[in-house]
Amino acid sequence: MPCHYLPIGEGTIFYKRVHKRDGKLISDYSSDFVYPRKIGSIIRVEDFDPDRRVLCSRGIHGASWEYCQHNWTHCPIILKLKITKSAKICVPYGTDGKFRVSEAELLEIIEDDKDKAEGKAEKEEKK
């Protein structure tokens, strides 16, 4: 069911799924944009797209914890983020629960058990 309004704003906690490649955290859509690993880091997208008519565009895409538990599960790492005071927010028309922001603070990096198991196997192979 499309969601046309999400109660989000400054201080809202949200989540984003990412991959780890060569020790870097990246999204599915842009391997050029690397997410920081330092908790408390402010993540910024300078060329943010505020156009609500565009479902996927430039910005830090996110959603609720529940959404992330059932969508994009092939991305094994979840970033817990908080919308900053100066962030621009876009909730696209017809969204299924996702939105994008221009700026967020990294609160936590959550690794799925699958990712931890793969990391452990990778370490054991290198021994």
Helix (H) or strand (E) holding 77: strand 77-83
pLDDT band at 35 (very low <50, low <70, confident <90, very high): very high
- Asked if residue 126 has pLDDT above 90, the reply is no
pLDDT band at 7 (very low <50, low <70, confident <90, very high): low
Indicate the pTM of the whole model.
0.80
Please give the residue that has the higher pLDDT: either 101 or 29: 101
Residue 3 falls within a domain, yes or no?
A: no
Residue 73 falls within a domain, yes or no?
A: yes
Residue 7 falls within a domain, yes or no?
A: no
- Asked if residue 113 has pLDDT above 90, the reply is no
Residue 5 falls within a domain, yes or no?
A: no
- Please name which of 114, 107, 124, 99 lies closest in space to residue 43, comparing C-alpha atoms: 107
Residue 41 falls within a domain, yes or no?
A: yes
- Asked if residue 28 has pLDDT above 90, the reply is no
Please give the residue that has the higher pLDDT: either 31 or 71: 71
Residue 109: the pLDDT is 96
pLDDT band at 114 (very low <50, low <70, confident <90, very high): low
Residue 23: the pLDDT is 87
Range of the domain at 69: 13-126
Residue 8 falls within a domain, yes or no?
A: no
Residue 57 falls within a domain, yes or no?
A: yes
pLDDT tens digit sequence for 57-103: 999 999 999 999 898 888 999 999 999 999 999 999 988 889 999 99
- Split into its structural domains, the chain has a count of 1
Instruction: Put the strands of the sheet holding 24-26 in their side by side order.
Output: 34-35, 24-26, 13-21, 77-83, 103-111, 42-44
Residue 6 falls within a domain, yes or no?
A: no
